[in-house]
A = this chain, B = another copy of it.
Amino acid sequence: MNNRRIPKYMQLKHELLSWFESGKLQRGQQVPSENEIAEQFGMSRQTVRQTFGELEKEGWLERIQGKGTFARNPERREGEQVKTIGIITTYISDYIFPHIVRGAEAELRSRGYRLLLSSTDNNKEKEMESLQLMTSQPLSGLIIEPTKSAEGNPNLAYFLELQEKGIPYLMINEKYRELECTCLKVNDEAGGYKAAEYLLEQGHVRIAGFFKRDDLQGVNRLKGFLAAHKAAGISASPKRVVTYTTEQKNTLPYQQALHMLAEGEERPTAFVCYNDELAVLLMEAVSASGLRVPEDVSIIGFDDSSLASASGTKLTTLTHPKTMMGQEAASRLIAIIERGETAEDRVYEPQLIERDSVAKRN
């Protein structure tokens, strides 16, 4: 028997732990006395004491002099467990992200979890910093919004580490292609499709599209934009499709828009924008070109952010679940943590909200 190599007190320890697992020992229940155990297992009381001592230090047993040894609530361990969940988003203060965080925070607080927050500013180095900090202490789970998801993922090692440590995580808005994990996202392709389709239905033909290319959300929205053109039998002119990166977001699309609008009769009559933030920026470009929204140029945004209704001309845009996404991400993660459920992807269908920034053409 290879049992010969395992010390007796360890064998007894494993035996007792199996009692806990099988439910043979319930919380508060008295454990046979040291002498009884010693006799039953054919070992000396001292050896039993060694086992009991370790189990007591580890919180499984409680020994009371003169009274006996008792099984301690093993749930105490889970009760005292971390209960902290981290969220890593690209931005904190801007745009729709505060709403996502808020949804998650409310859910977590009501479920007794603490929320660790960190942002990456869409910068992979800061993503690494954040991952390191988050995992530097015990963590129950992690919600991550990928940084520049369309590019490679240099922090793959950290995610694998999460898996090794048994820290469940899920992604929102997008997922890294390299990782298999649950993801809550908007159907961006359908959104891009709907935006373009809607404009085409209103009689627009020369539609410009502005999409971010370093995250998959932008790539997918562009994909839908092109698909709608194809379905309508109208070719989307490559010169009216602008892609840009996070770093260029405040300059390149604006300049390209000015450029297009200066093309006289050939200028586009509508803009599909990656998101509301860009839409507001391009509204200014339109205005700077001496044109008006929506009379001269129609604009569609994305995400139905507060910017969409706050701006002078209220933006027609596509919805994003925002708060609900945060809330759902939190509750799914808790389900994974507490009940070991395996969550499936959740895809939200964006709805078009008609406001004032799109004009009927013809």
A interface residues, Cβ below 8 angstroms from B:
53-54, 57, 80, 82-84, 91-94, 97-99, 101-102, 105-106, 109, 112-119, 126, 129-130, 133-134, 136-137, 280, 306-307, 310-312, 323
Across-interface contacts of A280 in B (CB, < 8 A) = 310
Q: Which residues of B contact A117 (CB under 8 A)?
A: 101, 105, 115-117
Contact across chains for A133 and B114 when beta carbons are under 8 A apart: yes
| Interchain residue pairs with CB less than 8 A apart (23) | A53-B53, A54-B57, A84-B137, A93-B101, A93-B102, A94-B98, A105-B117, A105-B118, A105-B119, A106-B119, A109-B119, A109-B126, A109-B133, A114-B116, A114-B118, A114-B133, A115-B117, A116-B116, A117-B117, A280-B310, A310-B310, A310-B311, A312-B312
Q: Is B116 in contact with A115, judged by CB distance below 8 angstroms?
A: yes
Closest 5 CB pairs of A and B: A93-B102, A93-B98, A310-B310, A98-B98, A312-B312
A136 lies within 8 A of B114 (CB): yes
- Please tell me which one of the listed residues B102, B114, B126 contacts residue A92 in the complex, with CB atoms under 8 A apart: B102
State the copy count for this chain.
Answer: 2
Report the Cα distance A258→B54, complex, angstroms.
74
Would you give the shortest CB distance from A91 to chain B, in whole angstroms?
8
| Bound Cα distance from A274 to B53, whole angstroms | 63
Of A92, A106, A118, A310, the most chain B CB neighbours within 10 A belong to A92
A97, B310: Cα distance in complex, Å: 18
Which residue of B has the minimal Cβ distance to A314?
Answer: B312
| Chain B nearest CB, measured from A319 CB (Å) | 16
Cα A84 to Cα B98 in complex, Å, equals 21
A133 to B312, CA, bound (A): 42
| Residues of B close to A84: CB separation below 8 A | 116, 137
Q: A97 to chain B: which residues have CB within 8 Å?
A: 98
